[in-house]
Amino acid sequence: MDQINHQRYYDCDDCLFKTISCQYIQKEEFEKLRSKSVQLRYKKGEVILKQGAKSTHFLFLRKGIIKFNYEDENGKNLILSINKAPALIGGANLVNAEFNLFSVCAIEECEGCTIDVALLTRIALGNTLYLFKMLQFITDIFRSSIFNFISLAHKQVNGRIADILIFLSQNIYLSNSFVLSLSRQEFAEFAGCSKENVIHTLRKFHNEGLITLEGKKIVLNDTERLLKISKHG
């Protein structure tokens, strides 16, 4: 068991989290964090943090793409936000709640390390600039959720799907051409509509030449017009 947990996939000296941390805190303090930290790999689909569970640790996501997922009483899922590394996740609860408000799942292979919340809090409370930096990291999820919130709230499906395509292109894959890591079902959970509607709409965009669709591969041909659709609603 210990053997597995201590497996190391990468060198901490190469890690952004160390670089950032050491701008604020002493190396010895970072070493304390590190000594309590464990490197982990997640396969596509794996749950990283479980909604409702007690949040005992953060995860510094060094590589990969994740979704923030909310499951309601009826078992219906809703994707609040999609984020890529680097990110500090789980922190949605630092200020707010003892238990995870959402689940976090890998939608691409992910790599990162756990960070002890209690210890990080203790260190951060002794160093306010560091605390500030950590909070910036942590509240990112809220900001990106609100982007999606606004899109959902007063656009119809055309606009929302255009929004999501642009978001994925510009914020996640950083290219006009990408292989979607989401299933159609997940896309629907992000867009707040049925999967059939996603399929119909993507097909329509394809037929109109806005995008090129080949299964999971999507190419945005006309970002201009997508932006117009997004703007118009």
Partner DNA sequence: CGCGAGCTTGACGTTGTTCAACTAGAGTGG
Partner DNA sequence: CCACTCTAGTTGAACAACGTCAAGCTCGCG
Contact by Cβ (8 Å): 55, 89? no
* CB burial of residue 92 (10 Å; 0-12, 13-18, 19+): buried
Total residues interacting with DNA, rule: CB under 7 A = 19
135 binds, among DNA, its own copies, none (CB under 5 to 8 A by kind): its own copies
**Which residue lies nearer to its own copies by CB, 57 or 160?**
160
Nearer to its own copies, 10 or 132 (CB): 132
Residue 152 in the binding site for DNA (CB under 7 A):
no
Contacts (CB under 7 A) with DNA, residues 162-201? 183-185, 192-197, 199-200
Residue 189 Cβ vs DNA, minimum distance, rounded to whole Å: 11
**38, 114 contact by CB (below 8 A):** yes
If one asks whether residue 156 binds DNA (CB under 7 A), the answer comes out as: yes
DSSP per residue, 146-179: HHHHHHHHH--HHHHHHHHHHHIIIIIS-SSEEE
> Given the complex with its own copies, which of 65 and 92 has the nearer CB atom?
92
Distance in angstroms (rounded) separating the CA atoms of residues 31 and 54: 25
Strands 87-89 and 57-63, how do they pair?
antiparallel
Among positions 51, 158, 176, 223, the unique one binding DNA when judged by CB under 7 A: 158
The answer to whether 69 touches 82, Cβ cutoff 8 Å, is no
> Considering the complex, what minimum distance in angstroms separates the CB of residue 193 from DNA?
3
> Which residues are within 8 A (CB) of 141 and not within 5 positions of it... i.e. 6 or more apart?
68, 80, 81, 83, 87, 89, 91, 92
Using CB under 8 A as the criterion, which residues of the chain lie in contact with its own copies when the complex forms?
70, 72-74, 76, 78, 80, 95-96, 101, 124-126, 128-129, 131-132, 135-136, 139, 142-143, 145-146, 148-150, 152-154, 192, 231-233
Residues that bind DNA (CB under 7 A): 156-158, 183-185, 192-197, 199-200, 202-203, 213, 215-216
